[in-house]
Amino acid sequence: MGHSDVLSGRKRGTTAKPVEASSLRANFGAPDWLVGPFVNEGAFVRRVIAAIHACSMPFVKVACKSVSLVPCDLKNQIMMMCWQLWLALHEILPACIARRGLSDDMSVEQHALYNVLWWSRMMPTDVWMCRWALSELGGLFPPREVPNEWIESVHTPGLCSCYMHLTPPSETNPKCLVWAYGGAFVAGDVNGQRGLAQHYGRLLGCDVFVVHMRLCPENQVQDAVIDLYRAYEWLLKKVPAENILMLGVSSGGGSILRTLQLAAGDEAMRKEYFGERRPLPPSLPQPAGVIGFGPFVDYARLSNSIKEYPRFDWIVNQSIIEMMLPMKATLAGGIEELEMCSPIYHSMKGLAPVFISVSEHECLIDEDKELFAKCKAAGVDVVLSTRPFMPHIFQLLSPFLPEAREEELRICDWARARGGVWA
C-alpha cells in the first residue's frame, strides 16, 4: 500500500462514487412533519419526552445497574439469541416494512440494526448514560481470563491501566497493541473495553495495553492526552517502539495522534502542552503504526458532517450532539484551548503510518478526510478506509454486521504489513 491509499468498502458491482446525503433515506423515509416533533431540538413532543425521561431517571438507573450485575458471558448469549431472532424476522418480512434504512443498498443486517439503534435519537442523553453504555461493551465482547498486569500511574494517582498478556511468555520482546478508548472525552473506561481490546489482540497475535485516561468534565482533554503520553512512555521501557501498534476509538484516536505529535515535537511544544504538570516528559519514538476508528480530531470547529449527518448517523445522533455542544467550551478549559488540543491544527510530519477507518455517512467523515489530506501532504504513510451507510464506530459492531467483520480483516492486513515484527 502506498502513502495515499483510499479504500472503499462497497458491494461488488457498484462504483466508488460517494453517495450524496440528498439520496439517503432519513427516519425510515417518514416525512419531517411526522418525525420532526420527536427528533428536532426544541420541538414540543421532544420536550415532553425529555420531561418524562427526567422523572423516570431513578428507575432507569436502577434498571441499568441491575443489567451491569449480569455476567458478560450471559449478557452476550442473551443479546446474540435476540439478535438472531430479530434478523430472522427481517429476512422474512417484506422489504417495504423491514428494510427502511438509509439506502436500499444496505445489507439486511444493517437494516435490522438500524431499526434498533434509530430510536435512541428520540431520548435525551447525559454523561451518566453515555458512561454506562460504554461500560457495557463487555456484553458484545466478553473479556476472557488472561494474565492481567494492572499498572498504577506514578504521575496521576487513581489511574490504573491494564496490560493483558495474550501471547505465550518468551525471551523475545512481545508485540503490543495500545488501546485508547473513545467516548467524546466524557465516557469510556478500561473494564468496558478489555474484551474488545482482547478481540483485536487475538486477531493480531499480540499483547494489549488498555490505557486509563481521565474524563471530562471533571478533567480536561489535555489530561487524557497526558495520561496516554505517560502510559506510552512507561510501555516503551517494556516493549520497543517497532513492536507497538496504537489503536484509538473516536476521541481515543484523536488522543493518540496528539500524543504522537507531542512525542515528535520539541521540548517547547511539550512544555506548552503539559504546562505546570511536572516533570516534563522526554520526546518519544513513533510506534510501528496507528489505527483510528472514526478519529475525533477537530474540537474547535463544527464540520458540515457534524451539522448535517446526525440525522443519518445511528450512533452520534441528535441526542448526542445536543448533549455535547453545550459542554464544548469547557472540555479544554476554554474555547481558545480547543485548537491547541486538536490534532488537525498541528503538524503531521514525522508521524508513524496511519490507518483511518471511517464511515462515509457518519458525523466525523469531513474531519477524517481532512486528516487524511494533511497526513498525505506531510509525507505520512496513510490509508483512508471508508464504508457507506455505517454509523460512527461501526468497527465495534462486528458481532452483528458482516461489513464490520470485513473492516476488521482489512485493518489486520494493514497492521501485519507494518514491518517484519508484525508480518
Q: What is the pLDDT of residues 108-134, one digit of tens each?
A: 999 999 999 999 999 889 999 999 999
Confidence of residue 14 (pLDDT cuts 50, 70, 90): very low
How high is the mean pLDDT of the chain? 91
Residue 359 has pLDDT above 50, yes or no: yes
pLDDT at residue 422, rounded to an integer: 53
Taking Cα atoms as reference points, which of 321, 300, 290 lies closest to residue 392? 321
Average pLDDT over residues 55-64: 94
* Helix or strand holding residue 30 (H, E): none
Average pLDDT over residues 370-396: 97
Neighbours of 313 (CB within 10 A): 28
Give the integer Cα–Cα distance in Å for 373 and 380: 10
Give the integer Cα–Cα distance in Å for 303 and 170: 48
Average pLDDT over residues 323-333: 88
pLDDT at residue 157, rounded to an integer: 86
- Regarding the domain delimited by 139-422, which CATH topology (the fold level of the hierarchy) does it fall under? Rossmann fold (3.40.50)
CA 380 to chain centre: 22
Taking Cα atoms as reference points, which of 258, 279, 263, 280 lies closest to residue 271? 280
Q: For residue 248, give the 3-state DSSP assignment.
A: strand
pLDDT at residue 155, rounded to an integer: 84
Confidence of residue 171 (pLDDT cuts 50, 70, 90): low
Extents of the domains making up the chain: 25-133, 139-422
pTM above 0.85, yes or no: yes
Residue 160 has pLDDT above 70, yes or no: yes
Percent of the residues in the chain that have a pLDDT greater than 70, as a whole number: 95
Average pLDDT over residues 153-170: 89
Average pLDDT over residues 237-261: 96
Average pLDDT over residues 373-381: 97
Give the integer Cα–Cα distance in Å for 351 and 141: 31
Residue 354 has pLDDT above 60, yes or no: yes
